[in-house]
């Protein structure tokens, strides 16, 4: 299968090796060549790439596509992708759009299409995530999550969209959406409290929230994306799980690749082989995101 990638950042250092793990032929615009050849962990993958003139040509040659762009750019691309009958399968990075209302509008369009869709929610593909989801089928209860790290844009002083809450970045919309998707699988559907905090008005360095489920369980979340500490911990006694890791993707990837590549490979495998899309789960994720945003205050 020919799979085009749109996005020269995470699209290349994340999804390119993941797709090559699945023996896909990857279609890339010529302007991405310098990035591939300039990164030691990617240069050996060039043999499986079909180079074309530009992104339009890449889409013309593809049976499937991975979009790893800014949320606002991705939102603008979806209509074009849905209008291409030859594109049967899509991977869309998270968040689907910069805000939950736009995301729900796009979700409606995706559901009305005949495409096989996967969104880049990766925590459910980790070993601990799969274990937690499996146990949730038999039990329910309170969960506590703490995630502390220093995001690359803070560590390097970069000013980009990932700092901007309005553009779909920050602790809630960019990082927290991963937790929201996972917690939907655990039965959480409402929010009783949520707050974001940052030194800058349009940023969200940290997010705190209390989520609820229909059976009375609570989930307490503490996420800090500009922390001097590095920690990812989950306490879920009812699920028989107590987890403490440096980060949620505390795995090993070969050849100097990003540690998220193994879980991205599983995501891509689903996209390539699935017969239907988990639209109901994606819709519930946006509904919970929307409920969280409705009670969010800035501290």
CA distance 295 to 178: 19
CA distances to 6, 117, 181, 188 from 125, rounded to whole Å, are: 23, 16, 12, 19
pLDDT bracket for residue 149 (50, 70, 90):
very high
Model confidence over 183-202: pLDDT tens digits? 999 999 999 999 999 999 99
pLDDT above 90 (res 80):
yes
Longest dimension (CA), the chain: 55
Q: How far apart are the first and last CA of the chain?
A: 48
Determine the angle formed by the axes of helices 100-112 and 71-82, rounding to 10 degrees: 20
Q: At what angle do helices 279-295 and 177-185 cross, to 10 degrees?
A: 120
Identify the pLDDT of residue 29.
Answer: 98
Per-residue pLDDT, averaged over 43-47, amounts to: 88
The stretch 145-159 carries a mean pLDDT of: 97
* CA 94 – CA 260 distance, rounded (Å): 14
Q: How many other CB atoms sit within 10 Å of the CB of residue 109? A: 12
pLDDT of residue 264: 97
Other Cβ atoms closer than 10 A to 12: 20
Q: Give the pLDDT confidence score for residue 256 in this predicted structure.
A: 87
Q: 148: closest CA among 246, 230, 208?
A: 230
Give residue 127's pLDDT: 94
Res. 17: pLDDT tops 80: yes
pLDDT at 112 over 80: yes
**Torsion sign over Cα 65, 48, 8, 179:** positive
**Domains in the chain, ordered, with CATH?**
2-119 (3.40.50.720), 124-251+277-298 (3.30.360.10)
Question: pLDDT by residue (tens digit) across 218-260?
Answer: 999 999 999 999 999 999 999 889 999 999 997 767 778 999 9
Residue 138's pLDDT band, with cuts at 50, 70 and 90, is: confident
pLDDT at 250: 76
Q: Taking the complete model, does pTM exceed 0.85, yes or no?
A: yes
């Amino acid at each position: 299968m020919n799979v085009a990638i749109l996005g020269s950042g995470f699209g290349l250092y994340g999804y390119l090796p993941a797709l090559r793990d699945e023996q896909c032929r990857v279609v890339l615009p010529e302007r991405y060549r310098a990035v591939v050849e300039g990164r030691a962990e990617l240069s050996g993958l060039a043999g499986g790439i079909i180079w074309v003139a530009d992104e339009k040509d890449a889409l013309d040659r593809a049976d499937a596509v991975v979009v790893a762009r800014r949320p606002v750019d991705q939102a603008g691309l979806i209509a074009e992708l849905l209008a291409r009958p030859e594109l049967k399968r899509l991977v869309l990075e998270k968040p689907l759009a910069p805000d939950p209302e736009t995301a729900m509008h796009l979700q409606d369009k995706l559901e009305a299409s005949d495409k096989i869709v996967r969104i880049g929610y990766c925590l459910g593909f980790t070993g601990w995530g799969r274990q937690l989801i499996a146990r949730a089928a038999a039990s329910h209860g309170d969960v506590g999550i703490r995630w502390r790290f220093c995001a690359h844009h803070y560590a390097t002083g970069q000013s980009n969209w990932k700092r901007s809450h309005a553009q779909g970045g920050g602790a809630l919309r960019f990082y927290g959406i991963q937790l929201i998707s996972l917690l939907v699988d655990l039965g959480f559907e409402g929010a009783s409290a949520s707050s974001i905090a940052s030194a800058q008005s349009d940023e969200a360095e940290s997010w705190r929230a209390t989520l609820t489920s229909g059976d009375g369980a609570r989930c307490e979340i503490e996420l800090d994306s500009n922390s001097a500490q590095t920690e990812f911990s989950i306490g879920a006694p009812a699920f028989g799980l107590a987890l403490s890791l440096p980060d949620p993707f505390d795995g090993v990837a070969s050849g100097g690749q990003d540690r998220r590549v193994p879980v991205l490979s599983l995501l891509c495998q689903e996209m390539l082989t699935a017969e239907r899309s988990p639209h109901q789960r994606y819709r519930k994720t946006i509904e919970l995101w929307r409920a969280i945003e409705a009670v969010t205050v800035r501290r």
